[in-house]
Amino acid sequence: TAQSFEQHFQDKLDNEVSIEPRDWMPDDYRKTLIRQISQHAHSEIVGMLPEGNWITRAPSLRRKAVLLAKVQDEGGHGLYLYSAAETLGITRDEMLGQLHSGKAKYSSIFNYPTLTWADMGAVGWLVDGAAIMNQVPLCRTSYGPYARAMVRVCKEESFHQRQGFEIMMRLAEGSETQKKMAQDALNRWWWPSIMMFGPKDDDSAHSAQSMAWRIKRFSNDELRQKFIDVTVEQAKLIGLTIPDPDLKWNEEKGHYDFGAINWDEFWNVVKGNGPCNKERLAARQNAWNNGAWVRDAALAYSEKRKERAEK
């Protein structure tokens, strides 16, 4: 009966047994996962663009090789995630259709421009740093295919974070101009990075249910606080200043207090009006259209093979 299916599902959650594609699951659990995993996949793919912008201009062959590998990793993450979402009964074409029509969300952070080489440092350090903070707990998310995809993704993200921090460290110990460039990148990326964790808990529509389903293991505000606490120390280590005059260690709480987040800016970017939303979407639409011949050729080839096999 429906009730016993539901009980079985709940028992699995309570016992930390993962839910697998063929298991019964509530419709809304399935929908929430499709929403979150597909948004996550789109973020990885759109996230290739701001850094792709610097591959041809990396300052050395070594930097170029590292950046190229990093951007390719993001493409790979998108593919695992689209595959994980497909196990829930949506096709990749449907997901991409939602992205290209502008209906699907992807992370707000990728709608900001990458203006200087130091932005490659700031993006790796802060954006990938924030991404890991959110994704390490997702290795224990209740849906098996999503959790397993996250294990490898997190290993790669941790390399990305370190390569970004290393770029910042080198710039920060370089010439006056290099140090300024690093500080300027930190100034521009800090607030958007802490917005990445999503709205504050009181305004987070999905958090309570997603926590109950053990899709999310920590709330948006908890993860944001953890990120701030570790990142402030890292900034100190390389002599850069976090652009928040209200940032202050709170002895009693054992956490940093921080200034007010500009939520109008966040929602504005989420709604499609950030500095690069149109450019990002257009780049993905063009990539899709320019790749049509590859899809057509692959399809024609597979049909030809099928015909031959049938003869």
Per the CB < 8 A criterion, the answer to whether 114 and 54 are in contact is yes
Nearer to ligand ACO, 149 or 169 (CB): 149
Nearer to ligand ACO, 83 or 204 (CB): 204
Q: Does 100 bind ligand ACO (CB under 6 A)?
A: no
Among 25, 36, 51, 238, binds ligand ACO (CB under 6 A): 36
Per the CB < 8 A criterion, the answer to whether 160 and 128 are in contact is yes
**Residue window 267-286: x/- pattern of binding to ligand ACO, with contact defined by CB under 6 A:** ---x----------------
Among 12, 38, 88, 108, binds ligand ACO (CB under 6 A): 108
**Residue window 51-80: x/- pattern of binding to ligand ACO, with contact defined by CB under 6 A:** ------------------------------
Among 38, 114, 134, 163, binds ligand ACO (CB under 6 A): 134
Q: Does 111 bind ligand ACO (CB under 6 A)?
A: no
Among 204, 234, 268, 285, binds ligand ACO (CB under 6 A): 204
Among 38, 39, 114, 225, binds ligand ACO (CB under 6 A): 39
- Shortest distance (Å) from residue 265 CB to ligand ACO: 12
Helix spans in the chain (H): 2-14, 27-46, 48-52, 61-86, 92-100, 118-122, 128-135, 144-172, 176-195, 207-212, 220-237, 263-268, 277-290, 292-310
Residue 212 structure tokens: 């109950």
Other CB atoms within 10 Å distance of the CB of residue 280: 21
Stretch that binds ligand ACO, among 20-28, 58-66, 200-208, 229-237 (CB under 6 A): 200-208
- Residue 283 CB partners (closer than 8 Å, separation 6+): 49
Q: Does 43 bind ligand ACO (CB under 6 A)?
A: yes
C-alpha dihedral (128, 130, 132, 134), degrees to nearest 10: -140
| 119 residue type, one letter | D
Sites for ligand ACO among residues 222-241 (CB under 6 A): none
Instruction: In whole angstroms, give the CA distance from residue 308 to residue 276.
Output: 48
Per the CB < 8 A criterion, the answer to whether 150 and 125 are in contact is no
Nearer to ligand ACO, 119 or 172 (CB): 119
- Shortest distance (Å) from residue 308 CB to ligand ACO: 41
**Residue window 180-199: x/- pattern of binding to ligand ACO, with contact defined by CB under 6 A:** ----------------xxxx
User: Which phi and psi (to 5°) does residue 221 adopt?
Assistant: -70, -35
- Coil, strand or helix: which one is 188? helix
Residue 224 structure tokens: 């944001």
Q: Does 35 bind ligand ACO (CB under 6 A)?
A: yes
| 179 residue type, one letter | K
Task: Tell me, by CB under 6 A, how many residues bind ligand ACO.
Answer: 23
- Residue 66 exposure: Cα atoms within 13 Å on the Cβ side: 17
Among 12, 29, 38, 44, binds ligand ACO (CB under 6 A): 44
Sites for ligand ACO among residues 243-262 (CB under 6 A): none
Other CB atoms within 10 Å distance of the CB of residue 171: 25
- Shortest distance (Å) from residue 197 CB to ligand ACO: 6
Residues at the contact surface with ligand ACO, assessed by CB under 6 A: 35-36, 39-40, 43-44, 47, 105, 107-108, 131, 134, 196-199, 204-207, 210, 220, 270
